[in-house]
Chain A
């Protein structure tokens, strides 16, 4: 039974379909009646076809068809619903081929994006754009396409107006061509003008250059004139200066022509040296006349010959020379001059003139003579004084010699005859007479020793002082050994400290040490177990003093220390006397210079300290002496008398 059922259903479906189609036809008819439809699109075997409803809105249609622009109605997606005749002409297509087609089909590919943007923009209101259409004849037509939204009831469509702007474009092109042509002409004209200007400029430049050259030439000329004037002025100035210098020069200057020797010029000083007035005319005078009139003399007073005159030699022989000579003047004293003359040569080397410069050296000659005389006088005085001193020295030597020879003879007679008396007449003389004779003998012998000491002192002080390093240890050792050799039977302790040295006159120091140690030796002679010690003690300011101390002497040991008054190598102060003195071995005392009157030999007295004295209580006396090279040192009042100290730095 299925066929029955199928038929029934098919009938029902066909019925339903017929009903729907009826309803749609009724709705369309109503729309047409109400004027709501302008045309109908009918799908057929030849595609969709639009059928307009004649009579509807005819006036508008006529207007649309009569306008020169293309007018279109579009669906929102760009399908052409209506196109007027002008648009169809624009595209050179029948309207039937246009309506129902998409507008984009007619737009050149390059403007498709512009068309899409235009469609989109037009939905919102109005938009306009230039696009190009391709015609059926495959030509391109530029069009200004304006799109506007067209609201028909609930349906939104687009209406478009396409204006052919080919002519406009052509005009623009023509205009552009005209503008270009104008531009070209303007450019050409400008170029012409520029060329013309350049030519003008060139001309101007040439003119300027010419003018500059003229200026430069002018300037050079002016400068040359100025320079020449300046040179002339300078020359005049130099000439004036030279003239002033010549006039002011204290040296006489004379110029003579060669070879005739005519004087051309003598300056003021030259005339004055001669004693002549400034107004004296000299130019053109023969030098020979001048030599004669000036009375030129050699230094020895003989007249100077022409060929001896320096200027004449310069002129005659072309010789540079100088000479001192005397100018004898009529009413004035002689003047001595020093003249230096030289030839003046031209570029070829020929002597054309001679110049002499002469200086008045009368005063300096006089002073020279005076100085010479003074020197001679001084030398004579020195010689005299030296002779006096030599004579005094000789006298002193003679005196010493005489003393040495003559003073001892009477003493020997006294001693000799006394001895003879004692020997020959002992029986006739009582004890006191014999004692007196012995005293005479003792006195004579002591006197002889004094004389020897004096002579020795005199000899030692005649030699000049010299300072050098002296090894005191070695020196003391030598003297001690000499003393021991002289008296080998003596037994005593002789101690010399090592490394004693002093800056001193070695000869003087030897005398000092010899005297000191001899005395020490002598005054310990009567005692056994004596000790003579040579050492050093620390002094002030880091100095070290040598010390020779004598022990076991029963009484103050008198020492012979003879410092010379003028060249004192050392100095002694006697502690018990306000003035210095030295004690001889025999006990006589000589006055000695004090430290203030002593020359600056750097010698000052030193004494052993009280502590030293207490350490050596049996040393009842000491005497201090310093060798050369020591500075000042205090002199304590309480000091044991007679320790000899040899100081060193």
Chain B
């Protein structure tokens, strides 16, 4: 059965959101892009709570693009909870952030992130990064089997 390929973009900065969407759309890399503007929204979507109560949890995102500095619940906490929950523990998560702080990278990887990408300021590089990211996670990468999620 063909599964709709969804990306969950967790991003509080509307500019970054717009630029990411621009690139993804330009290269037709996503059927559906769900935007969460803080950590709570992201968790609500993933666990079918809050505004997303009753959502079909069988529809898991192909990848979660997670910013770190977020209102309400920050990105690393979101990651920690995702990994703790048996329903989402294998969910591919990519940290997409402005920071390349060592502490962030260490925590990210220790909490089980699948990849850590730093958003370049140079839009040409940014475009290339997001393009490759989309290609890799949506087309190349095989997601974990649904049954395990």
Chain A residues in contact with chain B, CB under 8 A?
400-401, 404-406, 408-413, 415-420, 441, 444-445, 447-448, 459
How far apart are the CA atoms of A75 and B13 in the complex, in Å? 190
User: Once the chains bind, are A448 and B121 in contact (CB under 8 Å)?
Assistant: yes
Known pairs A409-B16, A417-B19, A420-B22 / 7 extra A-B pairs, C-beta < 8 Å:
A404-B99, A405-B99, A412-B120, A415-B126, A417-B15, A419-B127, A447-B121
- Partner among B19, B68, B98 whose Cβ is within 8 Å of the Cβ of A416: B19
- Partner among B22, B98, B102, B127 whose Cβ is within 8 Å of the Cβ of A408: B98
Minimum CB distance partner of A451 in chain B:
B121
How far apart are the CA atoms of A438 and B124 in the complex, in Å? 12
A434 → chain B closest CB, angstroms: 15
5 A-B pairs closest in CB distance: A448-B121, A413-B15, A419-B123, A416-B123, A416-B19
User: Once the chains bind, are A412 and B16 in contact (CB under 8 Å)?
Assistant: yes
B103 → chain A closest CB, angstroms: 8
Minimum CB distance partner of A459 in chain B:
B102
The digit string for B89-112, where 1 denotes a CB below 8 A from any CB of A, is 000000001111110000000000
User: Once the chains bind, are A413 and B98 in contact (CB under 8 Å)?
Assistant: no
Minimum CB distance partner of A418 in chain B:
B123
B80 in the interface, Cβ–Cβ < 8 Å? no
Residues of B within 8 A of A412 (CB): 15-16, 19, 98, 119-121, 123, 126
B5 in the interface, Cβ–Cβ < 8 Å? no
Residues of A within 8 A of B100 (CB): 404
Chain B residues in contact with chain A, CB under 8 A?
13, 15-16, 18-19, 22, 68-69, 97-102, 119-124, 126-127
User: Once the chains bind, are A411 and B99 in contact (CB under 8 Å)?
Assistant: no
How far apart are the CA atoms of A412 and B100 in the complex, in Å? 15
User: Once the chains bind, are B122 and A445 in contact (CB under 8 Å)?
Assistant: yes
User: Once the chains bind, are A408 and B124 in contact (CB under 8 Å)?
Assistant: no
Minimum CB distance partner of B22 in chain A:
A420
How far apart are the CA atoms of A413 and B119 in the complex, in Å? 11
Known: A409-B15, A413-B19. A445 touches B121 (CB 8 A): yes
Known: A412-B119, A416-B19. A405 touches B124 (CB 8 A): no
Residues of A within 8 A of B102 (CB): 459
How far apart are the CA atoms of A75 and B88 in the complex, in Å? 188
User: Once the chains bind, are A404 and B124 in contact (CB under 8 Å)?
Assistant: no
Which interface residue of A412, A415, A420, A441 has the most chain B CB atoms within 10 A? A412
How far apart are the CA atoms of A408 and B19 in the complex, in Å? 14
Q: List 5 A-B contacts (CB under 8 A).
A: A404-B100, A412-B120, A413-B13, A413-B16, A419-B127
Minimum CB distance partner of B121 in chain A:
A448
A392 → chain B closest CB, angstroms: 18
B78 → chain A closest CB, angstroms: 15
Residues of A within 8 A of B68 (CB): 405
Residues of A within 8 A of B15 (CB): 409-410, 412-413, 416-417
How far apart are the CA atoms of A147 and B123 in the complex, in Å? 182
User: Once the chains bind, are A415 and B123 in contact (CB under 8 Å)?
Assistant: yes
Residues of B within 8 A of A418 (CB): 123
Minimum CB distance partner of B23 in chain A:
A416
How far apart are the CA atoms of A406 and B121 in the complex, in Å? 12
A486 → chain B closest CB, angstroms: 15
User: Once the chains bind, are A405 and B69 in contact (CB under 8 Å)?
Assistant: yes
User: Once the chains bind, are A406 and B123 in contact (CB under 8 Å)?
Assistant: no
- Partner among A404, A410, A445 whose Cβ is within 8 Å of the Cβ of B101: A404
How far apart are the CA atoms of A401 and B100 in the complex, in Å? 9
Known: A413-B16, A416-B15. A441 touches B123 (CB 8 A): yes
B17 → chain A closest CB, angstroms: 10
Residues of B within 8 A of A445 (CB): 121-122
User: Once the chains bind, are A405 and B121 in contact (CB under 8 Å)?
Assistant: no
- Partner among A400, A415, A420, A459 whose Cβ is within 8 Å of the Cβ of B121: A415
User: Once the chains bind, are B99 and A416 in contact (CB under 8 Å)?
Assistant: no
User: Once the chains bind, are B119 and A408 in contact (CB under 8 Å)?
Assistant: yes
Residues of A within 8 A of B13 (CB): 409, 413
How far apart are the CA atoms of A400 and B100 in the complex, in Å? 11
User: Once the chains bind, are A406 and B122 in contact (CB under 8 Å)?
Assistant: no
Minimum CB distance partner of A447 in chain B:
B121
Known: A415-B123, A416-B126, A445-B121. A405 touches B97 (CB 8 A): yes
How far apart are the CA atoms of A229 and B101 in the complex, in Å? 98
Known: A409-B13, A409-B16, A420-B22. A415 touches B101 (CB 8 A): no
Residues of A within 8 A of B16 (CB): 409, 412-413
Which interface residue of A409, A419, A420 has the most chain B CB atoms within 10 A? A409
A510 → chain B closest CB, angstroms: 16
Residues of A within 8 A of B121 (CB): 408, 411-412, 415, 444-445, 447-448
Minimum CB distance partner of B19 in chain A:
A416
B1 → chain A closest CB, angstroms: 37
How far apart are the CA atoms of A448 and B19 in the complex, in Å? 17
How far apart are the CA atoms of A419 and B123 in the complex, in Å? 7
B117 → chain A closest CB, angstroms: 13
User: Once the chains bind, are B98 and A404 in contact (CB under 8 Å)?
Assistant: yes
User: Once the chains bind, are A415 and B122 in contact (CB under 8 Å)?
Assistant: yes
Residues of A within 8 A of B19 (CB): 412-413, 416-417, 420
B45 → chain A closest CB, angstroms: 23
How far apart are the CA atoms of A310 and B101 in the complex, in Å? 69
A314 → chain B closest CB, angstroms: 67
How far apart are the CA atoms of A447 and B16 in the complex, in Å? 18
How far apart are the CA atoms of A408 and B18 in the complex, in Å? 16
How far apart are the CA atoms of A418 and B101 in the complex, in Å? 27
A575 → chain B closest CB, angstroms: 33
